[in-house]
Chains A and B, each alone.
Chain A
Amino acid sequence: MAIKEVKAVTNKKVEVNPVSVERTTSTISSAINIIVPILLAFLIAMIPILISKENPATVYRVILDSAFSLRGFARILHYMGPLLLAGLAIMISFKAGLFNMGVESSIIVAGFTTAVLGYQLQTLPRMVLIPLLLVVAIVVGVLTAVIPALLKAYLNVNEMVVTLLLNYAIIEILKALTIGPFRDPRSGTVSTHAVGQNAIFKGFGNTQLTAFFFIAVVAFILVWFLYRKTKLGYEIRSLGTNLQFTEATGIKVRRKIIIIMLLSGAVAGLAGAGWLMSEEYKYSETFSSNPGLGWDGMVISLLGGHAPEGAFIAALFYGILKVGSGRVAFNTDVPAEVVTIIQALLILFLSVKMVKDKNSPAYISIKHLIYRAKEKRLLRKEKRRAKKEGTLEAKPLEVKEEVLEVKKPEVVEVKEPKVVEVMEPKVEPVQVVETPPPAEELKPLTIKALVAKTIPELKAIARENNISGFSSLNKKELVNLLYRSKVTEKPNKEGK
C-alpha cells in the first residue's frame, strides 16, 4: 500500500530531491528511535512511582531540576566525564560487533589500582602523580581486556560469555584484595585507603566540576577523530557490518579484534580512574554503584546510536538522570531503584528499533509524509515566485492580470474541450500568441494550470506549441517559458 502511494507521488511530482527526502527521513527515523523509548520508559516507570504513592510529575521534575542551576549543571558535567568514557568504551567494541561486557571489569580494576597507587604514592607531586595514575589506569584497563581479546581473536570463544564470567571472577578477586591486604582498617566499611590529596581532581570553585571532565572531552575528541577520520574507525564499522566481507577485503580481522578490544579496555580504564579520582576517592564494593558504570555506558552507547556524537549527548542526558536519581531518593518517598528501573526500561525499549530498516512500513510512511511536506513547500514557493514574476511582467502586457484573476475558478480548463476540438484542431505558432487569441476558444494557460502539470505533460504542450529548446529545462523553467510564451493547450482526448 504505502509503497504504491510513494510511487504514485514520485510519478506525479518529480521535482522533490529524493536525496534530501532520504536524508530527512533517516534523521527523523533515528530521532524517533531514541525519543520513543525514552518516553515509553518514563511512562512505564510511572507504575512503581504510583505504587509508592508519589506524583510522577513531581518525581520527574525533581530528576530534571538539577539541569537548571549552575551548581547542578556542574554536577551533571562532573558525572558526565566517566559516563561518556564508559559509553565510548562500549561503543567502540559494540560497533565492531564485539559485545565486550568487560568494560565494567576494566573500570573497576582501573579504579582499584588507582586507589591503591594513589594511596601508596601520595608523596609524589601532583603534576607527576595524576598523569602517572591515569596512564597506569589505562594500562590496567587494557590488560583486563587482553584475555577475552585473545580468546575471541584466535579461538572464537564467545567474548560476551567470557567477559561476563570474568566480571564475576574479577569482582571476587578485588573483594578478596580489599578485605585482605589493602583494607583500610580505620574505615567502618570494607574499602581501601582513600587516595592522597595529590591524586584528587579538585572541583572548580564550590562546584563539583573537575579537570577530569576536560580530560574526558579530550579523550572524546580523540575517539571521535579515530572513529570518523581514520582507517581504523572505518574498519571498526566494517567489522560490525559484515565480518566475512571485511576479512575478504584483506583486513586482518584477528589483529583488528584485538586492537578494538584493547582500545575499549583503555578507554574504560581511564573512566575508572576518573571516577575514583574525582568522585569516590577509595575503592569499595559499591565503587561503580548499581548497576555499574559499565552498564551505564551501555545505555549511553545505545542511546547515542553507537556513534560518538550521539554518545556525547546521551552522556549528558544520562548525567541528568544520574544526578536526578540521587535527588529522588533524597527529596521524595520513591526508592532510588526507580531510576534503575527507568534505566532498564530504556535499554529494553532501545533494543527495539521503532523504525526498522528502509523497507519497513513505518520508514516508508515517514518518507511519504516528508515527500508530501517537501512537495507542498516547493509548490507554495513556486506559486509565490510565479505570482511575483507574473505581476512583474503583467504591467507591460496588461493582459495577464486578468488571466491571474480568471484562474480562481479552476473549472475554466474543463469548460474548454469538445467545442474547441472541432474549430481549432492544430498548431498555434508562437507568433500567434502576440495577437491576443480568441478569448472564448483558447485562453493561454494560467500559471496554476501549468504548475499542476507534470514535466512530460509540459513538454508535450511545448512541443504542440512549437517551442524549441525545452528539453534540458527543469519544471520551474518550463513553466516560466510556457507561461511567458502564452501557450495554449490542445484539449486532447476528451478533456483530461
Chain B
Amino acid sequence: MNFVDSILAQTIIFAVPIIISALGGLLAYKINIVNIGLEGFMVFSALVSTVVMYFTGSYMWGLLSAIAISAIMGLIYAFFAVTQKANFVITGFAINILAAAVGGFVIKHLNTIGKLNQNSIPVTLEQSKMQLIIPAVHDIPILGALLSGHTPMVFLTIVLFVIVSVFLYKTRMGMYTQVIGESEDAARSVGIKVNKVKYIVLIMSAVIVGFAGFNIAVEQVRLFSPVVIAGTGFIAIAAFYCGDGRPGRTTIYALIFGLTQSLAMNIGLMNNALAQILKTVPYITIIIVLTINSLLKVRNKLDRGAHYVD
C-alpha cells in the first residue's frame, strides 16, 4: 500500500466511529440535549461486546449485546435527562467516568477470578473473518482502498446515515423531534408527547453510538481497555456542533477530523520524533474548525446576548 492509499484507508477507519457517534449524538442534539456521555456510551458498548465475544467468540452475540447495553444506557440517560430533568451535561460526564471505572473494574475482576491475565480484554476473533471484500473493486488502486476490505460497521455507517436522514426529515417522529428542538412548549401545545419522543430519540441515539464503540473495540483496536475510545466521543461532539446538527454536514466534518487523524498518524509513522506532538494535531484542528465555524455564525446574529448564548 502506498502513502495515499494508506491515508485514505485510515481516514475511513478513523472517520467511521466519529461519523457513527456523531450521527447518534446529533439526534440528541436535535432535542437540545448535548450528550457529553457519548464517550461513556461507547466504552460501555465496547466493554460488554468484548466481554461477550471473549466468552462466546461470536461476532453476532457481541453486536447484539452492544445494542442491548446501549439501549439500556440510553434508557438510563433518558430517565435522568428527561424524567428527572437532571443537568444532562453532568449526567453525561458521570457516565464517562462511570464507564471507565466499570471497565477497569471488570478487567481487574476477570483477572482475580482467573479468566484473564492481562490488563485488557482481547478480541480473539480474527480480523480477516470480519472483513468484507468486494471482489469487483478490491484491486482498483484508490477506489479499492476506499471501498473494499472493510468491516461490517463501515458499511453500516452508510446505512445509518440514510436511516438518520430519513428519520429526521421524512418521518413523523423526526418532524416531532425537530419541533421539540425548536420549541418544546410549542410542541407540547400542539399535543406532541414530548417526553415520549425524547425517550425514543435518546434510546435510538444511544444504540447508534453503541455501534461506534463496538467498531472501535472489536473491529479496529481488537481489545478493550478503559481508554480504548480515546476521545472519539468528544470529537464526535465537535463534529455535530460544527455540522449544526445536520447529518450531511456533520458527516463531512467527521470525515475531515478522520482525515487529520489519519494524516497525523501516517506522518508520525514516517517521523518518530514528531509522532507524539502530532497526536495533538487532530484536537487542535477541531478547535480551529470550531472557531471558524463560530466566526461565521456569530456574524449573522444581532439579538441581545446572541454572542454568548448557544
Contact = CB atoms under 8 A, between A and B. Distances in A.
Task: Kindly state the interface size class of chain A when it binds its partner.
Answer: 35 or more
Contacts of A8: none
19 contacts: A151-B290, A151-B291, A156-B298, A158-B241, A172-B279, A172-B280, A175-B276, A243-B308, A290-B104, A295-B93, A295-B97, A335-B108, A337-B105, A340-B101, A341-B102, A343-B97, A348-B94, A352-B85, A353-B85
A344 B101 contact: yes
Interface string A325-343: 0000000010101101101
A161 interface: yes
A353 B90 CA distance: 12
Majority SS of interface residues in chain A?
A: helix
A21 to B, nearest CB: 25
Interface string B55-99: 000000000000000000000000010001111111101110110
A418 B84 CA distance: 57
A52 B112 contact: yes
7 A-B pairs with the lowest CB-CB distances in the bound complex, closest first: A344-B98, A348-B94, A176-B276, A347-B94, A340-B101, A351-B90, A244-B305
Contact of B283 (A168, A340, A344, A356): A168
Contacts of B238: 161, 165
Contacts of B305: 243-244, 247-248, 253
A343 B83 CA distance: 23
B100 interface: yes
A337 B309 contact: no
B272 to A, nearest CB: 11
Given A243-B305, A247-B304, A351-B88, A157 B97 contact: no
B36 interface: yes
Given A168-B231, A175-B276, A248-B304, A350 B298 contact: no
Given A243-B305, A335-B104, A169 B298 contact: no
Given A52-B112, A168-B234, A160 B308 contact: no
Task: Kindly state the interface size class of chain B when it binds its partner.
Answer: 35 or more
Contacts of B126: none
B295 interface: yes
B86 A341 contact: no
A162 interface: yes
B284 interface: yes
B105 A341 contact: yes
A254 B306 CA distance: 12
B294 interface: yes
Given A156-B310, A247-B304, A346-B94, 7 more contacts: A151-B291, A156-B294, A161-B238, A165-B283, A179-B276, A248-B305, A353-B86
B273 to A, nearest CB: 8
A173 interface: yes
Interface in B165-213: none
Interface string B115-148: 0000000000000000000000000000000000
